Structure 1
Amino acid sequence: MKGVLIAGVIAAFAITVVDSLNCTQCHVFNSTCDDNVTECEEAGSLSCVESSVSSTLGGFLHLYQNKFCSESNCTENSTEVAFTVRIFDDQRFHFASQCCQGEACNGTHYESGTQESTNTQCMSCYDYNQTRCEEKPQQCYEGEQCVHIIAELTNGTGRVELKGCSDISNSTCQFLSAENTTVGEFVFMSVECTQSTEANSTTVTPSSIETSPTSVTTTTSMGIRASFTSSIFGSLLLLKLLF
């Protein structure tokens, strides 16, 4: 009888399989990643993370994608942050990041707002590493609000400031408004959202918006950073996106 029990235990261990995490993994500039999913080599990887930036700041199109394995413990469901900031002269900065617990992501699901102009105006500008931000009025589309965003790379090598019209949701704004919120390779140092009209302007505060954000990354789940090879490579990221 004892021998049967021992044999059963051995058999149980023999058929026990520890599933490894498979994620899409790539890091590219001005190109797009393929959808090939590969096994994570990093020990302790729990989540797949996908981040992307599409920018026409400076009048040139720049694309950036980084998809990698992470030790971050995301929530059970995939979580996303995605928004666009429109600057003057039809210059845009689109940011998207998604963290998926224990499985490969299916891509960030993002839908821009309507393109119907309103009477709402926001002062808009952008700067890099605290250069002068010369503000100009920007006509907003329906569903957009004014934003003022200051963010830097997680390695501290670059800083960007954005002002303009954005389709950012109130829940996302509330999440990012917490000081030094990390998402992807960026630390959002300051995020302010205001809903403006010709008659008045009202600042969106945590007490005036919903307290249950949907499809928004939590601080712990998105407390990740890419494995940059050097601080010089990090500097090139913002330089490529902004100029």
Structure 2
Amino acid sequence: MKGILIAGVFAAFAITVIDSLDCRQCTTNDDIKSCKDEASSCGESTDFVSCVESLVNSTLGGSQPLYQERSCSASNCETIIQADFTVRLPDAQQYHFVSQCCQGEACKDTDPGPRNLTNTQCSSCYSTNQGACNETTQQCFEGEQCVHIIVQHGSGEESVTEELKGCSDISDATCKALDSESAKIGEFTFQKVNCTKATIIPEVTTTTTPTTVTTTPSTVTTTPSTSTTIKASFISSVFGSLLLLKLLF
């Protein structure tokens, strides 16, 4: 019985070793849709221990080519820089970068899900090949911070250098990993990655200027009526007549 048990353990181990790793595998520029989502065998080699994927999906200026690379890797995931973040800019433009490593299994797509806007904002702009980055402001979602990224795609004369500023869901750990001496992931070299806390949108205050009302006193002149004047004249005449009679007698 003991011998049968040991043989079963070795058989299970042998099956585990023989089973090849399945990863999504393709490399594409300009048309990410041509990269299939189905995983396929990495072959019988036991050197492959992980699946690695790099993806850029951008709507900035229409100049950034869509890029995706999926492959089997002999590297341990602990030695590979992983990142998954989106930089959002005004006019619904965005730059989505993903680099992930999946140990012993195929990678899966990530989706942050719906988020709510907050009362925070970041400076925002986009430029290519050291062009002018005309800054504006971008309102941020929950969990986002401000980023300033300069990344080069490719090498030589065909390389493209992009500068991005905006709101991003990038993590502090990813910022630290990419903000090193020219961190490189696949065909992308990050020349600068700076992350700062989003600023609170200042409240708009309305100032009311008090209105001063000046009242000028009016002068009221009363003119005695005709009847009052006649009555006063009659009394004066009677009084004068009595005084004259007293003098005569």
The interval holding the TM-score normalised by the smaller chain is 0.5 to 0.7
Mapping for residues 59-208 of structure 1, pairs under 5 Å: 63-75=66-78, 80-105=82-107, 107-112=108-113, 114-118=115-119, 120-153=120-153, 155=155, 157-198=159-200
For residue 63 of structure 1, report the CA deviation from its aligned partner: 4.2
Mapping for residues 201-220 of structure 1, pairs under 5 Å: none
Mapping for residues 41-60 of structure 1, pairs under 5 Å: 44-58=47-61
Query: What SS does the corresponding residue of 1:110 show, helix, strand or coil?
Result: coil
For residue 18 of structure 1, report the CA deviation from its aligned partner: 4.4
TM-score normalised over the length of structure 1:
0.64
Deviation digits for residues 72-102 of structure 1 (CA, Å, limit 9, x no counterpart): 22139x9842111111222111111211223
Instruction: Check 1:112–1:195 CA distance in 2 against 1; reply closer, same or farther (3 A cut).
Output: farther
Query: What SS does the corresponding residue of 2:77 show, helix, strand or coil?
Result: coil
Count of equivalent residues:
186
Structure with more of its chain in helix, by fraction: 2
Q: Which amino acid in 2 is paired with 1:163?
A: K
Structure 1 unmatched ranges of 5 or more = 1-10, 201-243
Q: Which residue of 2 aligns with 1:217?
A: none
> Could you tell me how far apart the structure 2 residues matched to 1:170 and 1:189 are?
17
TM-score normalised over the length of structure 2:
0.62
Contact 1:82 1:95 in 2 (8 A): yes
> Could you tell me how far apart the structure 1 residues matched to 2:139 and 2:173 are?
23
Percent identity between the aligned chains? 50
For residue 158 of structure 1, report the CA deviation from its aligned partner: 2.4
What RMSD in Å do the two structures reach over aligned CA positions? 3.4
For residue 167 of structure 1, report the CA deviation from its aligned partner: 1.4
Contact 2:22 2:41 in 1 (8 A): yes
User: Over alpha carbons, which structure has the higher Rg?
Assistant: 2
Query: What SS does the corresponding residue of 1:89 show, helix, strand or coil?
Result: coil
Q: Which residue of 2 aligns with 1:231?
A: none
> Could you tell me how far apart the structure 1 residues matched to 2:23 and 2:71 are?
7
Structure with the bigger RCO (C-alpha within 8 Å, sep 6+) is 1
For residue 124 of structure 1, report the CA deviation from its aligned partner: 1.1
Contact 2:58 2:96 in 1 (8 A): yes
For residue 19 of structure 1, report the CA deviation from its aligned partner: 4.4
> Could you tell me how far apart the structure 2 residues matched to 1:185 and 1:112 are?
28
Contact 1:146 1:196 in 2 (8 A): yes
Instruction: Check 1:102–1:145 CA distance in 2 against 1; reply closer, same or farther (3 A cut).
Output: same
